[in-house]
Amino acid sequence: MNKVIIFCAPSGSGKTTIVKHLLQQNNQLMFSVSACTRNRREGEVDGKDYYFLTKENFAEKVKNNEFLEYEEVYGGNFYGTLKAEIERIWALGKVVLFDVDVVGGLNIKNYYGDNALAVFVKPPDVATLEKRLRHRSTETEETLKMRVEKAVHELEFQSKFEVVLLNDDLSIALEKAESLVNSFLNK
């Protein structure tokens, strides 16, 4: 049976770091590349970091029911998971690994049920999360404020996930993430 593993968290929680670690540790896993309408950041590669789409192209794919899930995020930018991406990964005999926002993750979990493991990565607290976001140096004060407000909202959803993984100490979080994934894949 085809399986999917979903890591969700507010921005700055460390989920991308955890997902990258899991991809290096387990060759059964393959990253699901999301589609988005936001501008490409320096160094990002289309088809590797995201599938960068115009808003018109994204809307056309929505109309054609090509998305497993999608959402408008951060004032007018759309993000979503293309069904074709999941099929591509399964055709390679791999397990799909998602790094998505909380709402998208819950939608994916609902869609795949017991064939999905949904993990919520939790920061120690909102102050630590804000500090991590500031450290990235990719945010304006306005976008930082938006991300922190969204994070506070997303933290309310953690109880809807099978597992809450506290990322207080990264090395411990990485170990626990590996263990969770291995247990899920072996059941």
pLDDT for residue 37: 96
> Position of tokens 């160094």?
43
Q: How far apart are CA 129 and CA 134, in angstroms?
A: 9
Instruction: Write the CA distances from 62 to 59, 80, 121, integer angstroms.
Output: 5, 9, 28
pLDDT at position 74, please?
66
pLDDT value at residue 58: 97
| pLDDT tens-digit readout, 9-60 | 988 788 989 999 999 999 999 999 999 999 998 999 999 989 999 999 999 9
**pTM recorded for the entire structure:** 0.87
pLDDT of residue 1: 65
For 23, residues 6+ apart whose C-beta sits below 8 A from its C-beta are 29, 30, 31, 97
**Which domains does the chain show, CATH number per domain?**
4-185 (3.40.50.300)
**Residue ranges in the chain modelled with pLDDT below 70:** 1, 74, 137
What was the pLDDT predicted at 34?
Answer: 93
Contact 98, 5 (CB under 8 A): yes
